[in-house]
Structure 1
Amino acid sequence: MSVRSIWWAAAIPGAEAPFDTAHLRVFYPAKPTGSDAERLSGVFPADPVGAPYPVAVIVSGVNVGQEAYRWLAVELASRGYVAVTYDWVGELFGGLKGITPGVELAAAKPDAYGTRATTPSVPVILDALKTMTGPVAGLLDLDNVALIGHSAGGTVILQSARFFPTVKAVAAYGTHTMVATMLGWPAGTVLPAQVDSPVLLMNGENDGVINGSADRYGSSPEKRDPISRTFDEALPDAGGDNVQVTFSGANHFGIVHPVDETAARAFLDLPAETDPAATRAALADVTTAFLDVHLRGASGDVLDKALQNPDIAGIRRR
């Protein structure tokens, strides 16, 4: 299947200019016609056969540009989804600016958590997709959405998904809901995830970034890892629909390609002990199968087959 992409933008309410715009890239299944319009514009029509297409929004980690997830967006689009990545350069911690999934710290404090989303960007992105013109106009199934998050992007979608009724599945890699003590929570607190949909929680065996951040949560690397605690303590029992998948020898940036060594916190990560390309292939298969089950109504056998990959070290369900 041919994959093409177009760009869009969304204004972030309450953000001060010039840090008030998210720039989207929308990847879609295309059907080239060989027309003069294609030759002159570089824009191909969407393939109408699979429309309306379920939508997967990929929410990045802090200072990880959307190009790092292009490989995954292309994989998803090649398998019949419209995949959306975006960059928002906005407020980070300590007054710094950078690429952010959007984190409203006030919404994560004890007196507010669970009353509203902790991310201001995701609802804006979903609204922006409703206004798109061009080849995908009218071809998006915006009542059938998946959120896919990495690192901090995974945290905010786990904290927020239930506030977006069109979200039917959540997938997150290298993330958890353990919360910083600076927000007023007791040390070691794992916040209950705000999700009404099935969750695919993914991680690598060699995640050095999460271990390197343990002091934020009043915890230590020697204690039980926050990703497994999130799976056990933060997620509701979903009758086996919630799945935790651990990839053999993968690290925190196993979902990223290429890894940008000049930004973010890759310097904290442990070396990957499995070929990163093999990890990405397994991750794409598992993620797509999970979405197929929960967005397209595919049989659970589809996911079971994807989970038989030899580069998967562990599988848990609840």
Structure 2
Amino acid sequence: MTVRAFYDAAKVGEALAPYDTIHLKIYYPASLDDSMEQINMGVVPARADSAPWPVAIFMPGTNVPVESYAWLAKELAGSGIVTVLYSWIKEDMPGFICLSPGIELKNLTPSTFGSAPTASALPALYSALERINSGGVLQNRLDLSAIIIGGHSAGGSAALLNNNPAWFPWLKGCFTYAAHAAASTQLGFANDSMLNICPDLPYLLMAGSRDGVIAASSFRYGDDKASVSTDRIERTFSESIDREQGDTHFVKIRGANHFSFTHPTDSTTGRQFLDWEHEGSDDDIRSCMATLIISFIKGQLLGDSAEMNTFSKTIDNNQLIAEHHCK
């Protein structure tokens, strides 16, 4: 399967220059030909079959470069899920310029949470997808009524908190790794608060048993000392999501740490120095994650019975699955 990608950009209306532009990289199933456009410019046409395709928008961790998620984008696009990775350098907090998933902190306080989206990147990304679907290599190839959001770390938390069809009616569901819905005391929430998130769509929450970053970050939520690495992810599943339709999952992956989801990992940015050593093969861990994500999207969200079976078999038979709960 040939996978190709191209770049694009989107303006964020309320953001101030120079931090008002998101840069996109869109991965898609492609078909090599001998056209002059391909030879001259490297523009490869989309594969002709099976379109329109669902779309996954992936929200990155803070200061994690887009290249670290290319492995997943290639896997998703190769299975027929067009995937959008993006980079947005912005000022998340006063004086803190970072590579951000696009978090709107003003909507993430005790008095504002739940009243409006906290993911300021999503409207601009959807507008860009509408434009991309109207012309060019992916003209009429995108199913804009079947969009899935995913994310890692802070980007995963942004995905969890915005998986809401009242705000974004084109959403089908959400997948995350190393992300939870705990509320930061720095934003005014009481110690050990968990945010309620929209129960109207399915979720796949994945956690790593060796996640040192989440454990070391527990002070943000009022803990006096480091917590269990997966505790708040499990509590997000059990306490924050009031959904009982058999399509929402918590999966703990044996031996995975916080940055097992990234490849390659850039240790010059982000907080890799907090992580614990992973156990086992990172390649096997990522392969397990990709299988779970693809079969969750195509099976649970899009109704492919064979993919539902793949998800179940992976849960039952893969030795990397340390724990699974469904509701």
**Deviation digits for residues 20-62 of structure 1 (CA, Å, limit 9, x no counterpart):** 0000000000011222221111011001201000000110000
Matched, 1:202 2:211: no
**Deviation digits for residues 202-234 of structure 1 (CA, Å, limit 9, x no counterpart):** 010000001111111002434681111111101
User: Per-residue deviation at 1:94?
Assistant: 4.2
Task: Give me the whole-angstrom Cα distance separating, in 2, the residues matched to 1:286 and 1:24.
Answer: 25
User: What residue number does 1:141 align with?
Assistant: 143
Letter paired with 1:294: Q
Query: After the TM superposition, which residues 1-318 of structure 1 pair with which residues of structure 2 at under 5 Å, given as runs?
Result: 1-132=1-132, 133-162=135-164, 163-219=167-223, 220-222=225-227, 225-299=231-305, 300-307=308-315, 308-318=317-327
TM-score (norm. length: structure 2): 0.94
User: 1:157–1:17: structure 2 CA closer, same or farther, 3 Å change rule?
Assistant: same
Identity, % of aligned positions: 38
User: Per-residue deviation at 1:310?
Assistant: 1.8
**Deviation digits for residues 71-119 of structure 1 (CA, Å, limit 9, x no counterpart):** 0000000101101100000013341111001111121111111111111
Partner SS, residue 168 of structure 1: strand
TM-score (norm. length: structure 1): 0.97
Task: Give me the whole-angstrom Cα distance separating, in 1, the residues matched to 2:25 and 2:237.
Answer: 31
Partner SS, residue 239 of structure 2: helix
User: Per-residue deviation at 1:240?
Assistant: 2.0
CA RMSD of aligned residues (A): 1.3
User: Per-residue deviation at 1:297?
Assistant: 1.1
User: Per-residue deviation at 1:294?
Assistant: 3.3
Letter paired with 2:198: Q
Partner SS, residue 270 of structure 1: coil
Task: Give me the whole-angstrom Cα distance separating, in 2, the residues matched to 1:89 and 1:18.
Answer: 9
User: Per-residue deviation at 1:13?
Assistant: 1.7
Letter paired with 1:69: Y
Aligned residues: 318
Unaligned runs of 5+ in 1: none
User: Per-residue deviation at 1:302?
Assistant: 2.8
User: Per-residue deviation at 1:195?
Assistant: 4.7
Partner SS, residue 74 of structure 1: helix
User: Per-residue deviation at 1:159?
Assistant: 0.9
Structure 1 segments of 4 or more deviating over 3 A? Answer: none
